[in-house]
Each structure stands twice: as C-alpha cells, then as structure tokens.
C-alpha cells in the first residue's frame, strides 16, 4: 500500500474519532484525552487519562533511530512536527515544570540543555508489555526485520523530548543499548550517526499526574472558564 494511501486511511479514522472519548454510563465524559502526531509516514496515537495521569503512546513498528554522542549519549528520531500535537506539548511542558527538580525524573546520564527545563520539555517513558526494541546486526544494511535482532528492554531508559520551538523526538539512552550489543552490532547504515542502528515498536506509557488547576483546562470549556497560572520561560 502506498504511503499516501495509508495516510489518507489514517486521516479518515482520526476525523471520525472525537477529541474527547465518551465512556459508558456514569463515566466522566472528558476523562480521556486523545490526539495524534505524524512524521516519517508513521502516526502515533496519544491518550491521556486525566484521573490517573497515565499517558499512552502507541504507533508504528520498527521506528528507526540515529546515535547522538553528546549530552550523555542517546539514540533518537523525530516523533512529530512542531505543533503537530498541542495536547502532547501541553502535557510535556506542564509535567516538566511539575517534576523536573525531583530525583530520578530525567534519564540517567542525560545532560546539557536537555535537562534545562527552560529549554526542553522532557518526559520519561516506560515500555508497554508489547513493546520491542531491536539492534542492527549487519553494518551498512538496515532492512527490517532481516538485519535486526530483538533485545531485552528492562534496562533501557526511554524518553520523549521537545525544545520550546521545535518538534517532538523520541529517544533511548545509549548506556542500556550498549550493554546489549554484540561485536559488530548497532552500526546501522554505516554513517557517523549510525542511522537505524536501533529500531523500536512504538508502545510506551508515562505517569504524569498534574494538579487539578492544570487539568481543568483539559475538559470542556464554558462561559465560566478562567485562565490558569503556568510558568513562562524567560522572554515569553
């Protein structure tokens, strides 16, 4: 199936699904918030539970990643263009402001601008039971699944990040990946950034409970709705 046809089918589904899901009798009609991101001919479904703070991200299989050697070393790839998901931007920004100064919030070893809450929004991710991560086994060839093998994910630290004027990116720290690599693995297409040296099935969760003051703006608005207080980055 051609990429444009696949996208048109996905778009028709998105249009058919309301932004706020409605459950059974007695359920809070705006408990779950849904949104999507799209890039690289792949779409990702975003679902946030306003009661529990659980965020679910589910998308395509074999999402390829490049290696970045700075800021602690991690594998990354684009996850959606700037403003492609205002809801996800809101959740990431507010969660970063709420939790950035708590021990263990950022992935181990991540450094530089990525841990500056005035520069980046970052949320840690956990793999869902059906998530799988793969490393490239054949330098210079990146055909999935032939050139990959699955690795354990228990020691992997995944995260999502976004600069305040840029797109979404998904990443995993290299330390955990490095522990699973055998000799000659993880080189991807052979370039300096080891393009597609790691691939992931997009199936992740995060736990981002937010104060009621912030969550009330995620519900339906009416004529009594009021502005809420948040923290602006310098200059804005």
pLDDT tens-digit series, residues 121-174: 999 999 999 999 999 999 899 999 999 999 999 999 999 999 988 899 999 999
**Any domain includes 96:** yes
Question: Can you tell me the distance from the alpha carbon of 98 to that of 208, in angstroms, rounded to the nearest whole number?
Answer: 9
Distance, CA of 92 to CA of 73 (rounded, Å): 22
Instruction: Specify the pTM.
Output: 0.82
Does residue 42 belong to any structural domain of this protein? yes
Residue 202 lies inside a defined structural domain of this protein: yes
154 falls within a domain: yes
Summary mean pLDDT of the chain: 85
Classify residue 236: in a domain, yes or no. Answer: no
Reported as type and span, the H/E element at residue 159 is strand 158-163
**Structural domain of 146:** 29-211
Q: Starting at the edge strand that comes first in sequence, how are the strands of the sheet with 32-39 ordered?
A: 32-39, 42-49, 54-58, 203-207, 120-127, 158-163, 168-173, 74-80, 63-68, 198-200, 133-136, 148-151
CA–CA dist 67, 76 (Å, integer): 7
More confident residue, 224 or 166: 166
**So what's the pLDDT on residue 21?**
39
Q: What angle do CA 214, 218, 223 make, to 5 degrees?
A: 100
pLDDT digits (tens, 9 = 90+) for 96-122: 999 999 999 999 999 999 999 999 999
What is the β-pairing status of strands 133-136 and 120-127?
Answer: unpaired
Around Cβ 149, how many Cβ atoms within 10 Å?
12
Q: For residue 218, is it within any domain?
A: no
Number of domains in the chain: 1
Residue 13: inside a domain, yes or no?
no
Decide if 170 is inside a domain: yes
């Amino acid at each position: 199936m051609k990429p444009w046809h696949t996208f048109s089918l996905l778009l028709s589904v998105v249009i058919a699904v309301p932004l706020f899901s409605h459950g059974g009798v007695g359920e809070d009609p705006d408990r779950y918030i849904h949104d999507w991101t799209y890039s690289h001919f792949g779409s990702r479904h975003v679902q946030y539970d306003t009661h529990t703070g659980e965020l679910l991200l589910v998308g395509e299989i074999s999402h390829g990643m490049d290696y970045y050697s700075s800021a602690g070393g991690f594998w990354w790839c684009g996850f959606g263009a700037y403003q492609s998901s205002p809801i996800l931007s809101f959740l990431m920004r507010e969660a970063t402001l709420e939790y950035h100064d708590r021990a263990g919030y950022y992935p181990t070893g991540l450094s530089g601008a990525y841990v500056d809450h005035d520069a980046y929004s970052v949320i840690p991710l956990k793999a869902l039971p059906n998530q799988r991560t793969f490393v490239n086994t054949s330098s210079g060839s990146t055909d999935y699944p032939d050139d990959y093998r699955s690795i354990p994910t228990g020691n992997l630290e995944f995260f999502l990040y976004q600069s305040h004027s840029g797109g979404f990116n998904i990443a995993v720290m290299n330390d955990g990946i490095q522990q699973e690599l055998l000799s000659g693995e993880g080189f991807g297409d052979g370039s300096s950034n080891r393009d597609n040296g790691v691939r992931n099935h997009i199936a992740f969760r995060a736990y981002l409970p937010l104060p009621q003051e912030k969550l009330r703006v995620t519900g339906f608005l009416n004529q009594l709705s009021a502005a809420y207080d948040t923290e602006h980055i310098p200059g804005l």
